[in-house]
A and B are shown apart, each in its own frame.
Chain A
Amino acid sequence: AQSVTQLGSHVSVSEGALVLLRCNYSSSVPPYLFWYVQYPNQGLQLLLKYTSAATLVKGINGFEAEFKKSETSFHLTKPSAHMSDAAEYFCAVSYTGGGNKLTFGTGTQLKVEL
């Protein structure tokens, strides 16, 4: 079975500081990994995804994530936080033959302070 664990349900950073949101996965087969963002009162939207090509994946709004098989991690980073980044972030895992089903983590609420 596949699963993801997001460490830290709440993360607070100052505007301009590095954003680091942690995600560790568990998968018995090569995983496909996703990061989604949810702004208040909206649905989820894709930030980026890893599909076994390059291990460093760049997404929208300046976010990127690096797939590290040895650490079973797919942490999300952004060099400089902006107030508009305040949202909830979800990591998710899937795999080939899984019928397109995603297994989501519990989410990390990002707060950006002045």
Chain B
Amino acid sequence: DAGVIQSPRHEVTEMGQEVTLRCKPISGHNSLFWYRQTMMRGLELLIYFNNNVPIDDSGMPEDRFSAKMPNASFSTLKIQPSEPRDSAVYFCASSNYGPQPETQYFGPGTRLLVL
């Protein structure tokens, strides 16, 4: 199994530009999570999906952030326009969804730097 795949691994952009992060979950998993990690704020859950449906987006910092999951094998996190304070490592994770909490499997992350 290839694990959770994220692209790009690194992104450097200028303030005001649109940034799109991509995630391919593990095949067969039906829950997908987007996290952001910074030194100041630690690991934050931004949004998660069950069966492609957004369940909780209360962690999305503001309207500049949006996430979609058009099908079971692909999700995007978009930032438009980007700002320097968005610089962070963004992780995607996937898991099975069931009556009991399941292990989340994390991707390698996308390191975003907004200049």
How many Å from the CB of B92 to the closest CB on chain A?
9
Which chain B residues lie closer than 8 Å to A94 at the CB level? Answer: 101
Name the CB-closest residue of A to B104: A102
- Give the interface residue-count category, chain A: 20 to 34
**B99→A44 contact, CB < 8 A:** no
Name the CB-closest residue of B to A93: B101
- Give the interface residue-count category, chain B: 20 to 34
Please judge, given known A-B contacts A94-B101, A100-B31, whether A44 and B91 are in contact too, CB under 8 Å. yes
Q: In terms of DSSP, what is the predominant structure of the interface of chain B? A: strand
**A44→B106 contact, CB < 8 A:** yes
| Interface membership of A74, Cβ < 8 A | no
| Interface membership of B71, Cβ < 8 A | no
Which of A45-53, A63-71, A76-84 contacts its partner? Answer: A45-53
Name the CB-closest residue of B to A31: B101
Name the CB-closest residue of A to B106: A43
11 other A-B residue contacts (CB within 8 Å) besides A97-B99, A100-B102:
A43-B4, A43-B108, A45-B106, A46-B103, A46-B104, A90-B43, A96-B101, A98-B101, A101-B33, A102-B101, A104-B45
* Residues of B participating in the A interface, judged by any CB pair closer than 8 Å: 4, 31, 33, 42-43, 45, 48, 50, 55-56, 91, 93, 95, 97, 99-109
